[in-house]
């Protein structure tokens, strides 16, 4: 019997000036299945799925929905044919209520007036179907990212989507939120909805999908049945070579005699009495659950928030940076967690972004030394494998993961003494992660100090010399290298009750 597909992308090709993003890629989605789409940063995943809504118009190829053939889609056609997409950077309106967001573009009207009550009532129904509980009157911006995403899913389902495409939906979520999102996705599958799921986290792919399609460099590579696949095999298909190690070796360096940063009873920005030290040559991991105060602590050190009391000592001197600029000038860099808001200048080139913090240093009488400028960005483009035709490419035209690499490069280029990394590999593919870990190791080998916030337990354990654990704004544990393990970190991460007086 011929297999029934609800969606078929056939020989999709997409060319941009200087880049062939997709080279005749085919993808077939069966009814009621979860198909994972995986590949390295810049492989073409987002571009491929955007052809389903017309956000990207293919240079050639065909799109079949329930057997009907289209050479290109439009948002209207997609919605008429039951296709909904949740984008990597989803688009909701923070100033509107949840209900208004759910009905964005097609509000319920009574005559010519928008019927808020009816929309709210219907929102409640829609959430009920997904077993979630969200107040439809709440402003969208007041919801956690997890709930915002649930609203996006509810919106898709409410529009009667039978194909739901999710582009890295888990990247901004806490592990608890990921669990509830999985429940909703499984519920939808049981109702016959077909799902395309994109993620760099292979454990999610194994937990959720029925089949896995791998693409590499814009080319179709293979499709596997999930239960017959294994991690090593997937990594090899994605990166095109064997990768046996995830964490590069670093010589055990234990001479942490020189302190770079000391926090003494630092309070403010939601944290209390924070004490820890980061040494020259050390990667200090900062662990804890989301909301524990890790980013908040980083902001205090970086001058992005003001402390109310306590002392921050940097290279032996007390500092009180009033702004990130001040912090950068004294030798502190920070790669922010929320890269969309604080990260890159999207409308300018890779070259410009990477060199931004050092223009003063590499200029003489306002003339930039372009050789240094270019050499610098060439170096990072190569080391981090930033995928772009050249350094003049605008950052907004890069894939999500490659934008992050540019931001990381920018912070490293500043050549700071202390580098704070907030979730440095979120949204980054396995191969590039390895390169970033090598860069972190090089930094500390060259006498820098690194403070690394990570919610990925393995990364925290794999990269840190010591780990400080926070919970609800307090330091709950400090683990030396030989004590660092997942159980202990988890224990301290949830150990608040005993600490609070
Ligand atoms: N508007 C554009 N102009 C030029 N090149 C583009 C444009 N949009 C995408 N590209 C290029 O197409 C390629 C595929 O990008 P895409 O965003 O699909 O990757 P991805 O697989 O989703 O990666 P990630 O995992 O990082 O999100 C990249 O090389 C990207 O730079
Ligand atoms: Mg993408």
> Are the C-beta atoms of 274 and 263 separated by less than 8 Å?
yes
Atom 24 (ligand 1) nearest CA: 41
Distance CA 113, CA 185 (A): 34
Q: What is the pLDDT of residue 501?
A: 40
Ligand with smallest separation from the Cα of 19:
1
Beta-bridged to residue 276, according to DSSP, are: 263
In a domain, residue 131? The reply is yes
The bridge status of strand 317-319 relative to strand 309-314 is antiparallel
- Element holding 84 (H helix, E strand): strand 83-86
- Res. 256: pLDDT tops 90: no
In a domain, residue 250? The reply is no
Atom 27 (ligand 1) nearest CA: 400
- Res. 379: pLDDT tops 80: yes
Of 9, 21, 39, 196, best ligand 1 pocket probe by most atoms within 8 Å of the beta carbon: 21
- 3-state SS assignment for residue 55: coil
The percentage of the chain sitting over the pLDDT mark of 90, rounded to a whole number, equals 54
The alpha carbons of the chain give a radius of gyration, in whole angstroms, of 24
In a domain, residue 249? The reply is no
Sequence-ordered strand ranges (E) for 92-216: 109-110, 113-114, 163-167, 194-198, 211-216
pLDDT digits (tens, 9 = 90+) for 327-378: 988 999 998 876 555 566 778 899 998 888 777 777 777 777 788 888 888 9
pLDDT digits (tens, 9 = 90+) for 274-310: 999 999 999 999 998 877 899 999 999 999 999 999 9
Ligand 1 proximity of 401 Cβ (cutoff 6 Å):
yes
Cα 356–361–364 angle (5° rounding)? Answer: 110
Same domain, 202 and 349: no
466: left (phi > 0), else alpha (psi -120 to 50), else beta?
beta
Ligand 1 proximity of 16 Cβ (cutoff 6 Å):
yes
Which CATH number is 326's domain given?
Answer: 3.40.50.300
Same domain, 180 and 322: no
The tokens describing 143, both together, are 């919801």
Q: How many domains does the chain have?
A: 3
Ligand with smallest separation from the Cα of 392:
1
Lowest-confidence pick of 212-226, 353-367, 392-406: 353-367
393 is in which domain, residue-wise? 343-414
Ligand 1 proximity of 39 Cβ (cutoff 6 Å):
yes
Same domain, 401 and 422: no
Last residue of a domain, one of 414, 429, 450: 414
pLDDT digits (tens, 9 = 90+) for 58-73: 999 999 999 999 999 9
Segment 194-199 shows an average pLDDT of 96
Segment 391-413 shows an average pLDDT of 87
In a domain, residue 310? The reply is yes
Distance CA 30, CA 22 (A): 22
Ligand with smallest separation from the Cα of 404:
1
| Tokens 């460099």, located at residue | 217
Distance CA 106, CA 385 (A): 43
Give me the count of residues in the chain.
Answer: 501
pLDDT band at residue 1 using 50, 70 and 90 as cut-offs: low
Atom 12 (ligand 1) nearest CA: 21
Among candidate residues 480, 458, 466, the one with its CA nearest the CA of residue 246: 458
| 12 vs 240, residue with greater confidence | 12
Ligand 1 proximity of 41 Cβ (cutoff 6 Å):
yes
> Are the C-beta atoms of 402 and 388 separated by less than 8 Å?
yes
Ligand 1 proximity of 354 Cβ (cutoff 6 Å):
no
pLDDT digits (tens, 9 = 90+) for 417-473: 999 999 888 888 888 888 889 889 988 998 999 999 998 888 999 999 999 999 999
Same domain, 298 and 435: yes
Ligand 1 proximity of 432 Cβ (cutoff 6 Å):
no
Cα–ligand 2 centroid distance for 148 (angstroms): 19
The tokens describing 300, both together, are 């205090």
> Are the C-beta atoms of 100 and 107 separated by less than 8 Å?
yes
Cα–ligand 2 centroid distance for 135 (angstroms): 31
Same domain, 164 and 287: no
In SS3 terms, 296-353 reads as HHHHHHCCCCCCCEEEEEECCEEECCCCHHHHHHHCEEEECCCHHHHCCCCCCEHHHH
Same domain, 190 and 108: yes
The tokens describing 47, both together, are 């571009």
φ and ψ at residue 377, rounded to 5 degrees: -75, -30
pLDDT band at residue 95 using 50, 70 and 90 as cut-offs: confident
Cα–ligand 2 centroid distance for 18 (angstroms): 19
Atom 29 (ligand 1) nearest CA: 42
In a domain, residue 379? The reply is yes
φ and ψ at residue 464, rounded to 5 degrees: -85, 145
Atom 8 (ligand 1) nearest CA: 397
Distance CA 207, CA 243 (A): 22
Give how far Cα 398 sits from Cα of 247, 366, 404, 432, Å: 26, 29, 9, 15
Give how far Cα 146 sits from Cα of 125, 181, 292, 440, Å: 19, 8, 17, 30
Same domain, 106 and 194: yes
Same domain, 32 and 147: yes
Q: What is the pLDDT of residue 74?
A: 94
Ligand with smallest separation from the Cα of 41:
1
Cα–ligand 1 centroid distance for 150 (angstroms): 26
- Per the prediction, the chain carries an average pLDDT of 89
Same domain, 233 and 282: no
Same domain, 380 and 319: no
Ligand with smallest separation from the Cα of 428:
1
Same domain, 420 and 385: no
Give how far Cα 475 sits from Cα of 462, 472, 489, 492, Å: 21, 9, 12, 9
Q: What is the pLDDT of residue 458?
A: 87
| 200 vs 499, residue with greater confidence | 200
Q: What share of the chain is helix, strand, coil (3-state, %, to 5)?
A: 35, 25, 40
**CA 336 to centroid of chain Cα atoms:** 11
pLDDT digits (tens, 9 = 90+) for 300-339: 999 999 999 999 999 999 999 999 989 988 999 998 876 5
In a domain, residue 143? The reply is yes
Q: What is the dihedral of CA 241, 246, 252, 257, to 10 degrees?
A: 120
Distance CA 312, CA 301 (A): 7
Ligand 1 proximity of 387 Cβ (cutoff 6 Å):
yes
Last residue of a domain, one of 414, 442, 475: 414
Atom 19 (ligand 1) nearest CA: 42
Distance CA 6, CA 52 (A): 12
Which atom of ligand 1 approaches the CA of 48 most closely?
Answer: 18
In a domain, residue 251? The reply is no
The percentage of the chain sitting over the pLDDT mark of 70, rounded to a whole number, equals 96
In a domain, residue 336? The reply is no
Distance CA 458, CA 456 (A): 6
Same domain, 59 and 199: yes
Last residue of a domain, one of 189, 209, 239: 239
pLDDT digits (tens, 9 = 90+) for 171-186: 877 777 788 889 999 9
The tokens describing 219, both together, are 């080319």
**CA 85 to centroid of chain Cα atoms:** 18
């Amino acid at each position: 019997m011929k297999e029934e597909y609800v969606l078929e992308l056939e020989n999709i090709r997409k060319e941009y000036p200087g880049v062939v993003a997709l080279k005749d890629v085919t993808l077939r989605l069966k009814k009621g299945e979860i198909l994972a789409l995986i590949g390295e940063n810049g492989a073409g995943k987002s571009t491929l799925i955007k052809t389903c809504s017309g956000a990207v118009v293919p240079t050639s190829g065909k799109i079949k929905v329930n057997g009907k053939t289209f050479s290109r889609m439009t948002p209207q056609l997609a919605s008429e044919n039951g296709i909904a997409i949740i984008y990597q950077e989803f688009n909701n309106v923070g100033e509107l209520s949840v209900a208004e967001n759910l009905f964005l573009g097609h509000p319920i009207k009574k005559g010519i007036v928008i019927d808020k009550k009816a929309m709210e009532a219907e929102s409640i129904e829609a959430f009920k179907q997904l077993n979630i509980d969200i107040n439809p009157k709440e402003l969208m911006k007041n919801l956690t990212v997890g709930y915002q995403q649930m609203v996006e899913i509810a919106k898709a389902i409410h529009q009667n989507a039978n194909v739901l495409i999710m582009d890295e939906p888990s990247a901004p979520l806490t592990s608890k939120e990921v669990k509830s999102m999985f429940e909703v996705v499984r519920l939808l599958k049981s109702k016959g909805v077909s799902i395309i799921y994109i993620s760099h986290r292979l454990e999610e792919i194994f937990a959720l999908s029925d089949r896995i399609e791998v693409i590499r460099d814009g080319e179709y590579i293979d499709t596997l049945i999930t239960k017959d696949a294994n991690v090593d095999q997937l990594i090899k298909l994605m990166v095109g070579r064997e990768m046996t190690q995830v964490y590069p070796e670093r010589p055990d360096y234990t001479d942490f005699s020189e302190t770079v940063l000391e926090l003494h009873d630092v309070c403010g920005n939601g944290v209390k009495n924070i004490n820890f030290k980061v040494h020259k040559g050390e990667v200090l991991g900062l662990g804890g659950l989301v909301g524990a105060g890790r980013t908040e602590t980083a902001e205090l050190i970086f001058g992005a928030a003001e402390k109310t009391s306590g002392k921050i000592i940097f290279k032996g001197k007390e500092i009180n940076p009033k702004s990130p600029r001040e912090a950068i000038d004294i030798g502190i860099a920070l790669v922010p967690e929320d890269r969309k808001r604080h990260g890159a200048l999207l409308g300018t080139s890779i070259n410009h972004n990477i060199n931004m913090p050092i223009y003063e240093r590499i200029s003489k009488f306002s003339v930039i030394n372009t050789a240094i400028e270019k050499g610098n960005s060439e170096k990072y483009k190569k080391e981090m494998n930033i995928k772009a035709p050249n350094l003049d490419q605008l950052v907004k035209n890069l894939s999500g993961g490659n934008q992050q690499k540019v931001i990381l490069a920018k912070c490293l280029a500043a050549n700071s003494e202390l580098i704070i990394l907030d979730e440095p590999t979120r949204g980054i593919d396995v191969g590039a992660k390895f390169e970033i870990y090598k860069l972190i190791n090089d930094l500390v080998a060259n006498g820098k100090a690194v403070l690394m916030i990570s919610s990925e337990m393995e990364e925290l354990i794999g990269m840190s010399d010591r780990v400080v654990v926070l919970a609800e704004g307090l330091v709950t544990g400090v683990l030396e290298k030989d004590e660092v393990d997942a159980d202990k970190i988890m224990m301290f991460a949830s150990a608040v009750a005993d600490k609070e007086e």
